[in-house]
Chains A and B, each alone.
Chain A
Protein backbone atom coordinates (compact mmCIF):
# COMPACT_ATOMS: atom_id res chain seq x y z
CA UNK A 1 0.00 0.00 0.00
CA UNK A 2 1.20 3.47 -0.80
CA UNK A 3 0.02 5.00 2.43
CA UNK A 4 2.83 6.28 4.59
CA UNK A 5 3.14 4.74 8.01
CA UNK A 6 3.17 6.83 11.13
CA UNK A 7 6.46 6.62 13.00
CA UNK A 8 7.06 6.83 16.73
CA UNK A 9 10.75 6.97 17.54
CA UNK A 10 10.70 6.84 21.32
CA UNK A 11 8.00 5.66 23.66
CA UNK A 12 5.89 8.72 24.47
CA UNK A 13 6.13 9.51 28.16
CA UNK A 14 4.39 12.84 28.60
CA UNK A 15 0.85 12.75 29.86
CA UNK A 16 -0.99 16.01 29.31
CA UNK A 17 -0.95 18.21 32.42
CA UNK A 18 -4.20 17.83 34.29
CA UNK A 19 -4.95 14.52 32.55
CA UNK A 20 -3.11 11.94 34.68
CA UNK A 21 -5.53 9.19 33.64
CA UNK A 22 -5.19 9.57 29.88
CA UNK A 23 -2.41 7.81 27.96
CA UNK A 24 0.37 10.13 26.74
CA UNK A 25 -0.97 12.48 24.08
CA UNK A 26 1.51 11.23 21.51
CA UNK A 27 0.27 7.66 21.90
CA UNK A 28 -3.31 8.73 21.32
CA UNK A 29 -2.02 10.69 18.37
CA UNK A 30 -0.38 7.56 16.98
CA UNK A 31 -3.71 5.76 17.24
CA UNK A 32 -5.35 8.59 15.30
CA UNK A 33 -2.90 7.97 12.46
CA UNK A 34 -3.69 4.28 12.42
CA UNK A 35 -3.57 1.15 14.58
CA UNK A 36 0.07 0.38 13.77
CA UNK A 37 3.14 2.64 13.83
CA UNK A 38 6.79 2.07 13.12
CA UNK A 39 8.75 2.17 16.31
CA UNK A 40 12.34 2.04 17.53
CA UNK A 41 12.97 0.15 20.76
CA UNK A 42 15.04 1.99 23.38
CA UNK A 43 17.95 -0.34 22.55
CA UNK A 44 17.86 0.87 18.94
CA UNK A 45 16.19 -2.18 17.38
CA UNK A 46 13.41 -1.50 14.89
CA UNK A 47 9.96 -2.62 15.90
CA UNK A 48 6.28 -1.74 15.73
CA UNK A 49 3.89 -0.09 18.10
CA UNK A 50 0.30 -1.31 18.06
CA UNK A 51 -2.30 1.08 19.45
CA UNK A 52 -5.59 -0.09 17.86
CA UNK A 53 -7.92 -2.33 19.84
CA UNK A 54 -8.64 -4.86 17.10
CA UNK A 55 -4.99 -5.29 16.14
CA UNK A 56 -3.78 -5.62 19.72
CA UNK A 57 -6.45 -8.21 20.42
CA UNK A 58 -5.76 -10.23 17.28
CA UNK A 59 -1.99 -10.29 17.89
CA UNK A 60 -2.60 -11.48 21.46
CA UNK A 61 -4.66 -14.39 20.11
CA UNK A 62 -2.16 -15.24 17.36
CA UNK A 63 0.25 -18.12 18.08
CA UNK A 64 2.67 -16.68 15.49
CA UNK A 65 3.56 -14.11 18.14
CA UNK A 66 5.74 -15.21 21.04
CA UNK A 67 6.09 -14.07 24.65
CA UNK A 68 9.49 -15.74 25.09
CA UNK A 69 11.92 -13.51 26.86
CA UNK A 70 14.96 -14.73 24.92
CA UNK A 71 13.28 -13.82 21.62
CA UNK A 72 12.56 -10.23 22.59
CA UNK A 73 14.52 -8.31 19.99
CA UNK A 74 14.87 -4.97 21.71
CA UNK A 75 18.50 -4.67 22.75
CA UNK A 76 21.88 -5.51 21.18
CA UNK A 77 22.54 -8.56 23.26
CA UNK A 78 20.48 -11.70 23.63
CA UNK A 79 18.24 -11.80 26.66
CA UNK A 80 18.36 -14.93 28.81
CA UNK A 81 15.30 -17.18 28.79
CA UNK A 82 12.81 -16.79 31.62
CA UNK A 83 13.88 -18.71 34.75
CA UNK A 84 12.01 -21.95 35.54
CA UNK A 85 8.41 -21.28 36.59
CA UNK A 86 8.20 -17.72 35.29
CA UNK A 87 5.68 -18.63 32.62
CA UNK A 88 4.55 -15.10 31.77
CA UNK A 89 7.52 -14.97 29.40
CA UNK A 90 7.20 -18.45 27.89
CA UNK A 91 5.17 -19.96 25.06
CA UNK A 92 3.21 -23.19 25.04
CA UNK A 93 3.88 -25.99 25.77
CA UNK A 94 6.20 -24.75 28.56
CA UNK A 95 3.77 -22.00 29.53
CA UNK A 96 0.88 -24.42 29.77
CA UNK A 97 2.83 -26.87 31.90
CA UNK A 98 3.08 -24.19 34.61
CA UNK A 99 -0.27 -22.52 34.14
CA UNK A 100 -2.22 -25.77 34.19
CA UNK A 101 -1.71 -26.78 37.82
CA UNK A 102 -2.59 -23.22 38.85
CA UNK A 103 -5.81 -22.83 36.88
CA UNK A 104 -8.04 -24.75 39.28
CA UNK A 105 -6.81 -22.58 42.12
CA UNK A 106 -7.92 -19.26 40.63
CA UNK A 107 -11.40 -20.06 39.34
CA UNK A 108 -14.35 -17.69 39.59
CA UNK A 109 -15.93 -19.86 42.28
CA UNK A 110 -12.83 -20.35 44.34
CA UNK A 111 -12.02 -16.67 44.33
CA UNK A 112 -15.59 -15.78 45.34
CA UNK A 113 -15.15 -18.01 48.36
CA UNK A 114 -12.42 -15.63 49.45
CA UNK A 115 -14.85 -12.69 49.54
CA UNK A 116 -15.51 -12.83 53.26
CA UNK A 117 -11.86 -13.10 54.12
CA UNK A 118 -11.02 -10.15 51.86
CA UNK A 119 -13.84 -8.15 53.46
CA UNK A 120 -12.25 -8.80 56.82
CA UNK A 121 -8.79 -7.78 55.63
CA UNK A 122 -10.24 -4.61 54.11
CA UNK A 123 -12.23 -3.76 57.24
CA UNK A 124 -9.06 -4.13 59.33
CA UNK A 125 -7.20 -1.73 57.03
CA UNK A 126 -10.01 0.80 57.11
CA UNK A 127 -10.30 0.55 60.91
CA UNK A 128 -6.61 1.29 61.24
CA UNK A 129 -6.94 4.19 58.82
CA UNK A 130 -9.88 5.66 60.75
CA UNK A 131 -7.98 5.32 63.99
CA UNK A 132 -4.84 7.14 62.91
CA UNK A 133 -6.42 9.67 60.53
CA UNK A 134 -7.50 11.94 59.08
CA UNK A 135 -5.44 12.52 57.02
CA UNK A 136 -3.96 9.30 55.60
CA UNK A 137 -1.93 8.11 52.65
CA UNK A 138 -4.33 5.83 50.86
CA UNK A 139 -1.47 3.92 49.24
CA UNK A 140 0.10 2.75 52.49
CA UNK A 141 -3.15 2.50 54.47
CA UNK A 142 -5.31 0.71 51.91
CA UNK A 143 -4.01 0.05 48.40
CA UNK A 144 -0.85 -1.85 49.32
CA UNK A 145 -1.76 -3.83 52.44
CA UNK A 146 -4.88 -5.47 50.97
CA UNK A 147 -3.23 -7.23 47.99
CA UNK A 148 -0.13 -7.94 50.07
CA UNK A 149 -2.04 -9.77 52.77
CA UNK A 150 -4.09 -11.63 50.15
CA UNK A 151 -1.02 -12.83 48.25
CA UNK A 152 0.69 -13.78 51.54
CA UNK A 153 -2.29 -15.98 52.37
CA UNK A 154 -2.28 -17.58 48.94
CA UNK A 155 1.42 -18.34 49.22
CA UNK A 156 1.07 -19.28 52.87
CA UNK A 157 3.58 -16.73 54.18
CA UNK A 158 3.45 -17.16 57.99
CA UNK A 159 2.24 -14.16 60.01
CA UNK A 160 5.56 -13.56 61.69
CA UNK A 161 7.32 -13.13 58.33
CA UNK A 162 4.81 -10.78 56.76
CA UNK A 163 6.27 -7.50 57.92
CA UNK A 164 9.73 -8.09 56.50
CA UNK A 165 8.36 -9.78 53.40
CA UNK A 166 6.11 -6.82 52.69
CA UNK A 167 9.04 -4.44 53.01
CA UNK A 168 11.11 -6.46 50.57
CA UNK A 169 8.50 -6.63 47.86
CA UNK A 170 7.69 -2.99 48.39
CA UNK A 171 11.30 -2.08 47.74
CA UNK A 172 11.77 -4.23 44.69
CA UNK A 173 8.51 -3.23 43.09
CA UNK A 174 8.19 0.37 44.14
CA UNK A 175 10.83 1.51 41.65
CA UNK A 176 11.76 4.37 43.97
CA UNK A 177 15.11 3.04 45.15
CA UNK A 178 18.71 2.83 44.03
CA UNK A 179 19.81 -0.10 41.88
CA UNK A 180 21.75 -1.69 44.74
CA UNK A 181 18.80 -1.57 47.08
CA UNK A 182 16.62 -2.96 44.37
CA UNK A 183 18.91 -5.89 43.64
CA UNK A 184 19.34 -6.56 47.36
CA UNK A 185 15.56 -6.63 47.90
CA UNK A 186 15.07 -8.81 44.84
CA UNK A 187 17.70 -11.28 46.01
CA UNK A 188 16.24 -11.32 49.50
CA UNK A 189 12.77 -12.03 48.09
CA UNK A 190 14.16 -14.86 45.95
CA UNK A 191 15.92 -16.35 48.96
CA UNK A 192 12.84 -16.00 51.11
CA UNK A 193 10.64 -17.70 48.51
CA UNK A 194 13.14 -20.56 48.17
CA UNK A 195 12.96 -21.09 51.94
CA UNK A 196 9.19 -20.85 51.86
CA UNK A 197 8.94 -23.53 49.16
CA UNK A 198 11.23 -25.82 51.18
CA UNK A 199 9.12 -25.20 54.29
CA UNK A 200 5.86 -26.03 52.47
CA UNK A 201 7.40 -29.16 51.00
CA UNK A 202 8.44 -30.30 54.48
CA UNK A 203 5.20 -29.32 56.18
CA UNK A 204 2.31 -28.42 53.88
CA UNK A 205 -0.24 -25.92 55.17
CA UNK A 206 -3.59 -24.78 53.76
CA UNK A 207 -2.54 -22.60 50.82
CA UNK A 208 -1.92 -22.68 47.08
CA UNK A 209 1.85 -23.07 47.35
CA UNK A 210 1.52 -26.12 49.60
CA UNK A 211 -0.97 -27.66 47.19
CA UNK A 212 1.51 -27.21 44.38
CA UNK A 213 4.16 -29.23 46.21
CA UNK A 214 1.90 -32.17 45.38
CA UNK A 215 2.66 -31.85 41.65
CA UNK A 216 5.75 -32.76 39.63
CA UNK A 217 7.11 -29.21 39.85
CA UNK A 218 10.60 -28.80 41.28
CA UNK A 219 11.50 -26.43 44.11
CA UNK A 220 13.20 -24.13 41.63
CA UNK A 221 10.05 -24.04 39.53
CA UNK A 222 7.82 -23.42 42.54
CA UNK A 223 10.04 -20.52 43.52
CA UNK A 224 9.63 -19.05 40.03
CA UNK A 225 5.87 -19.51 40.16
CA UNK A 226 5.68 -17.83 43.57
CA UNK A 227 7.73 -14.95 42.28
CA UNK A 228 5.50 -14.47 39.26
CA UNK A 229 2.33 -14.61 41.39
CA UNK A 230 3.83 -11.98 43.61
CA UNK A 231 5.20 -9.78 40.86
CA UNK A 232 2.07 -9.98 38.71
CA UNK A 233 -0.45 -9.83 41.51
CA UNK A 234 0.70 -7.24 43.99
CA UNK A 235 1.74 -4.04 42.23
CA UNK A 236 -1.06 -4.27 39.65
CA UNK A 237 -3.84 -4.60 42.20
CA UNK A 238 -2.32 -2.01 44.55
CA UNK A 239 -2.13 0.55 41.77
CA UNK A 240 -5.64 -0.17 40.57
CA UNK A 241 -6.87 0.52 44.10
CA UNK A 242 -4.96 3.76 44.59
CA UNK A 243 -5.19 5.19 41.08
CA UNK A 244 -8.81 4.02 40.95
CA UNK A 245 -9.62 5.94 44.12
CA UNK A 246 -7.87 9.01 42.70
CA UNK A 247 -9.95 8.72 39.53
CA UNK A 248 -13.17 8.38 41.53
CA UNK A 249 -12.31 11.40 43.65
CA UNK A 250 -11.73 13.39 40.45
CA UNK A 251 -15.13 12.33 39.10
CA UNK A 252 -17.43 13.20 42.00
CA UNK A 253 -20.64 12.48 40.10
CA UNK A 254 -19.39 8.96 39.32
CA UNK A 255 -18.26 8.44 42.89
CA UNK A 256 -21.68 9.58 44.15
CA UNK A 257 -23.40 7.16 41.78
CA UNK A 258 -21.22 4.29 43.00
CA UNK A 259 -21.83 5.19 46.62
CA UNK A 260 -25.57 5.33 46.09
CA UNK A 261 -25.86 2.06 44.22
CA UNK A 262 -24.01 -1.07 45.32
CA UNK A 263 -25.24 -2.80 42.17
CA UNK A 264 -22.88 -0.56 40.23
CA UNK A 265 -19.80 -2.01 41.90
CA UNK A 266 -19.00 -4.82 39.45
CA UNK A 267 -19.40 -2.58 36.42
CA UNK A 268 -17.38 0.16 38.12
CA UNK A 269 -14.47 -2.23 38.56
CA UNK A 270 -14.52 -3.21 34.87
CA UNK A 271 -14.72 0.42 33.78
CA UNK A 272 -11.86 1.43 36.07
CA UNK A 273 -9.81 -1.44 34.66
CA UNK A 274 -10.47 -0.19 31.13
CA UNK A 275 -10.09 3.49 31.88
CA UNK A 276 -6.85 3.18 33.86
CA UNK A 277 -5.16 0.18 32.22
CA UNK A 278 -2.36 0.23 34.77
CA UNK A 279 -0.59 -2.64 32.97
CA UNK A 280 0.12 -0.40 30.02
CA UNK A 281 2.16 -2.34 27.49
CA UNK A 282 3.48 -5.83 26.82
CA UNK A 283 5.60 -7.14 23.98
CA UNK A 284 5.39 -10.01 21.53
CA UNK A 285 7.86 -11.19 18.90
CA UNK A 286 6.86 -12.46 15.46
CA UNK A 287 7.95 -16.07 14.91
CA UNK A 288 7.43 -15.74 11.14
CA UNK A 289 6.60 -12.91 8.74
CA UNK A 290 3.10 -11.79 9.62
CA UNK A 291 0.85 -9.46 7.67
CA UNK A 292 -0.75 -7.08 10.14
CA UNK A 293 -2.83 -3.98 9.46
CA UNK A 294 -1.42 -3.67 5.94
CA UNK A 295 2.20 -4.02 7.12
CA UNK A 296 4.55 -6.98 7.22
CA UNK A 297 6.01 -7.68 10.59
CA UNK A 298 9.17 -9.58 9.84
CA UNK A 299 10.11 -12.74 11.70
CA UNK A 300 12.15 -11.86 14.76
CA UNK A 301 10.74 -8.35 15.13
CA UNK A 302 9.30 -7.35 18.48
CA UNK A 303 6.08 -5.38 18.69
CA UNK A 304 4.90 -3.26 21.60
CA UNK A 305 1.21 -3.67 22.35
CA UNK A 306 -0.32 -0.66 24.04
CA UNK A 307 -3.18 -1.99 26.14
CA UNK A 308 -4.00 1.43 27.51
CA UNK A 309 -4.38 3.02 24.09
CA UNK A 310 -6.36 0.02 22.83
CA UNK A 311 -8.72 0.44 25.77
CA UNK A 312 -9.25 4.04 24.65
CA UNK A 313 -9.90 3.15 21.02
CA UNK A 314 -12.92 5.15 19.82
CA UNK A 315 -13.73 2.39 17.33
CA UNK A 316 -14.33 0.00 20.20
CA UNK A 317 -15.52 2.21 23.07
CA UNK A 318 -17.66 5.27 22.46
CA UNK A 319 -16.36 8.42 24.16
CA UNK A 320 -13.39 6.36 25.31
CA UNK A 321 -11.83 9.09 27.44
CA UNK A 322 -14.91 9.43 29.59
CA UNK A 323 -15.03 7.48 32.84
CA UNK A 324 -18.54 6.10 32.83
CA UNK A 325 -19.18 3.46 35.48
CA UNK A 326 -22.44 2.48 33.77
CA UNK A 327 -21.02 1.67 30.37
CA UNK A 328 -20.46 -1.79 28.93
CA UNK A 329 -16.72 -2.04 29.32
CA UNK A 330 -16.53 -5.78 28.72
CA UNK A 331 -13.94 -6.83 26.21
CA UNK A 332 -11.36 -4.45 27.65
CA UNK A 333 -7.76 -5.60 27.47
CA UNK A 334 -6.66 -4.58 30.97
CA UNK A 335 -6.06 -8.27 31.74
CA UNK A 336 -4.75 -8.96 28.22
CA UNK A 337 -6.16 -11.61 25.88
CA UNK A 338 -4.96 -14.93 24.51
CA UNK A 339 -3.16 -17.63 26.45
CA UNK A 340 -1.47 -15.21 28.86
CA UNK A 341 -4.67 -13.49 29.92
CA UNK A 342 -4.30 -12.76 33.60
CA UNK A 343 -4.43 -15.88 35.74
CA UNK A 344 -5.32 -13.84 38.83
CA UNK A 345 -8.09 -11.74 37.29
CA UNK A 346 -10.92 -13.32 39.25
CA UNK A 347 -8.98 -12.73 42.45
CA UNK A 348 -8.21 -9.14 41.43
CA UNK A 349 -11.89 -8.57 40.66
CA UNK A 350 -12.97 -9.78 44.10
CA UNK A 351 -10.30 -7.66 45.79
CA UNK A 352 -11.33 -4.53 43.90
CA UNK A 353 -15.07 -5.07 44.33
CA UNK A 354 -14.73 -5.57 48.04
CA UNK A 355 -12.17 -2.83 48.61
CA UNK A 356 -13.78 -0.02 46.59
CA UNK A 357 -17.20 -0.84 48.03
CA UNK A 358 -15.94 -0.81 51.61
CA UNK A 359 -13.97 2.39 51.10
CA UNK A 360 -16.83 4.43 49.68
CA UNK A 361 -19.25 3.11 52.31
CA UNK A 362 -16.93 3.69 55.21
CA UNK A 363 -15.78 7.22 54.32
CA UNK A 364 -18.69 9.17 52.81
CA UNK A 365 -16.70 12.41 52.92
CA UNK A 366 -13.42 11.07 51.55
CA UNK A 367 -11.52 13.69 49.54
CA UNK A 368 -8.02 14.61 48.45
CA UNK A 369 -5.95 16.28 51.14
CA UNK A 370 -3.80 18.10 48.56
CA UNK A 371 -4.59 19.79 45.25
CA UNK A 372 -4.94 17.16 42.52
CA UNK A 373 -1.92 18.54 40.64
CA UNK A 374 0.26 17.72 43.64
CA UNK A 375 -0.52 14.02 43.64
CA UNK A 376 2.75 12.32 42.65
CA UNK A 377 2.40 10.05 39.64
CA UNK A 378 4.64 7.21 38.63
CA UNK A 379 6.88 7.91 35.66
CA UNK A 380 5.81 6.38 32.37
CA UNK A 381 8.95 4.22 32.51
CA UNK A 382 7.50 2.23 35.41
CA UNK A 383 5.98 -1.08 34.25
CA UNK A 384 2.77 -0.40 36.10
CA UNK A 385 1.20 3.04 36.16
CA UNK A 386 -0.10 4.61 39.35
CA UNK A 387 0.28 7.20 42.07
CA UNK A 388 3.24 7.33 44.42
CA UNK A 389 1.07 8.38 47.32
CA UNK A 390 -2.49 9.60 47.69
CA UNK A 391 -3.04 11.96 50.62
CA UNK A 392 -6.72 11.86 51.57
CA UNK A 393 -8.82 13.27 54.35
CA UNK A 394 -12.41 13.03 55.61
CA UNK A 395 -14.74 14.46 58.22
CA UNK A 396 -14.56 12.54 61.44
CA UNK A 397 -17.83 11.01 62.56
CA UNK A 398 -19.58 12.99 65.22
CA UNK A 399 -20.91 10.68 67.86
Chain B
Protein backbone atom coordinates (compact mmCIF):
# COMPACT_ATOMS: atom_id res chain seq x y z
CA UNK B 1 0.00 0.00 0.00
CA UNK B 2 1.00 3.63 -0.22
CA UNK B 3 1.28 6.17 2.50
CA UNK B 4 0.85 9.84 1.97
CA UNK B 5 1.76 12.84 3.99
CA UNK B 6 1.13 16.48 3.39
CA UNK B 7 3.30 19.44 4.06
CA UNK B 8 2.25 23.06 3.93
CA UNK B 9 4.49 26.09 3.77
CA UNK B 10 2.65 28.93 5.44
CA UNK B 11 5.26 31.40 4.26
CA UNK B 12 4.29 30.72 0.65
CA UNK B 13 0.54 30.62 1.27
CA UNK B 14 -1.42 33.56 -0.14
CA UNK B 15 -4.74 32.67 1.49
CA UNK B 16 -6.54 31.99 -1.76
CA UNK B 17 -8.57 29.24 -0.12
CA UNK B 18 -8.40 26.77 -3.00
CA UNK B 19 -7.38 24.05 -0.54
CA UNK B 20 -10.23 24.66 1.89
CA UNK B 21 -12.61 24.81 -1.03
CA UNK B 22 -11.34 21.63 -2.70
CA UNK B 23 -10.66 19.44 0.35
CA UNK B 24 -12.40 20.92 3.39
CA UNK B 25 -11.84 17.72 5.37
CA UNK B 26 -8.11 18.09 5.03
CA UNK B 27 -7.47 21.85 4.99
CA UNK B 28 -8.87 24.91 6.68
CA UNK B 29 -7.80 28.52 6.78
CA UNK B 30 -6.66 30.30 9.89
CA UNK B 31 -9.56 32.59 10.85
CA UNK B 32 -7.10 35.33 11.80
CA UNK B 33 -4.63 35.45 8.93
CA UNK B 34 -6.33 33.35 6.26
CA UNK B 35 -3.37 31.05 5.84
CA UNK B 36 -3.67 27.33 5.37
CA UNK B 37 -4.21 25.03 8.36
CA UNK B 38 -3.48 21.38 7.88
CA UNK B 39 -6.15 19.23 9.54
CA UNK B 40 -4.75 15.86 8.48
CA UNK B 41 -1.05 15.61 7.77
CA UNK B 42 -1.60 12.00 6.79
CA UNK B 43 -4.87 11.99 4.90
CA UNK B 44 -6.74 8.68 4.97
CA UNK B 45 -7.08 6.94 1.61
CA UNK B 46 -10.60 8.24 1.10
CA UNK B 47 -9.35 11.82 1.28
CA UNK B 48 -6.29 11.32 -0.83
CA UNK B 49 -7.73 12.32 -4.18
CA UNK B 50 -9.12 15.52 -2.74
CA UNK B 51 -5.79 16.26 -1.06
CA UNK B 52 -3.95 15.65 -4.33
CA UNK B 53 -6.33 17.95 -6.17
CA UNK B 54 -5.88 20.66 -3.54
CA UNK B 55 -2.10 20.42 -3.81
CA UNK B 56 -2.41 20.82 -7.58
CA UNK B 57 -4.84 23.70 -7.28
CA UNK B 58 -2.86 25.74 -4.75
CA UNK B 59 -1.79 28.87 -6.63
CA UNK B 60 1.33 29.48 -4.58
CA UNK B 61 2.81 25.98 -4.41
CA UNK B 62 2.36 25.97 -0.65
CA UNK B 63 1.11 22.38 -0.46
CA UNK B 64 3.15 19.28 -1.19
CA UNK B 65 1.88 15.76 -1.05
CA UNK B 66 4.45 13.02 -0.59
CA UNK B 67 3.26 9.62 -1.59
CA UNK B 68 5.46 6.65 -0.91
CA UNK B 69 5.19 2.96 -1.47
CA UNK B 70 5.48 1.33 1.87
CA UNK B 71 5.46 -2.18 3.09
CA UNK B 72 2.04 -2.89 4.54
CA UNK B 73 3.61 -5.04 7.27
CA UNK B 74 5.72 -2.17 8.56
CA UNK B 75 2.79 0.00 9.59
Contact = CB atoms under 8 A, between A and B. Distances in A.
B37 to A, nearest CB: 10
A107 B20 contact: yes
B34 interface: yes
A104 B15 contact: yes
Given A109-B28, A330-B22, A346-B21, A103 B33 contact: yes
B53 A330 contact: yes
Interface in B1-38: 14-18, 20-22, 24, 28-35
A336 B59 contact: yes
B33 to A, nearest CB: 5
Contacts of A335: 16
A341 interface: yes
B contact face: mostly helix, strand, loop, or mixed: loop
A200 B75 CA distance: 57
A201 interface: no
Interface string B28-70: 1111111100000000000000000100110111000000000
Given A103-B14, A107-B15, A107-B20, A61 B31 contact: no
A339 B29 contact: no
A339 B15 contact: no
A103 B35 contact: yes
Contacts of B34: 102-107
Given A106-B15, A107-B15, A107-B20, A339 B59 contact: yes
A337 B33 contact: no
Contacts, number: 70
B21 to A, nearest CB: 5
A180 B56 CA distance: 46
Contacts of B29: 104, 107-109
Contacts of A345: 16-17
Interface residues of B, number: 23
A274 interface: no
Interface string A327-352: 00011000111110111011001000
Contact of A109 (B14, B20, B33, B60): B20
Contact of B15 (A60, A99, A330, A331): A99
B59 A108 contact: no
Interface in A88-108: 96, 99-100, 102-108
B2 to A, nearest CB: 23
Interface residues of A, number: 27
A109 to B, nearest CB: 7
Contacts of B18: 341
B69 to A, nearest CB: 27
A110 interface: yes
A68 B31 CA distance: 30
A105 B31 CA distance: 8
Contacts of A104: 15, 29-35
Contacts of B28: 109
Interface in A181-200: none
Nearest to A101: B33
Given A103-B35, A104-B32, A61 B15 contact: no
B15 A103 contact: yes
Contacts of B31: 104, 107, 109-110
A108 B24 CA distance: 10
Contacts of A110: 31
Contacts of A105: 34
A99 B14 contact: yes
B72 to A, nearest CB: 32
A346 B29 CA distance: 12
13 contacts: A100-B33, A102-B34, A104-B29, A106-B15, A107-B34, A108-B17, A330-B22, A330-B57, A331-B56, A339-B59, A341-B16, A341-B60, A342-B16
Interface of A: 60-61, 96, 99-100, 102-110, 330-331, 335-339, 341-343, 345-346, 349
Interface of B: 14-18, 20-22, 24, 28-35, 53, 56-57, 59-61
Given A104-B34, A341-B18, 7 more contacts: A61-B61, A102-B34, A104-B15, A104-B35, A108-B21, A109-B20, A330-B53
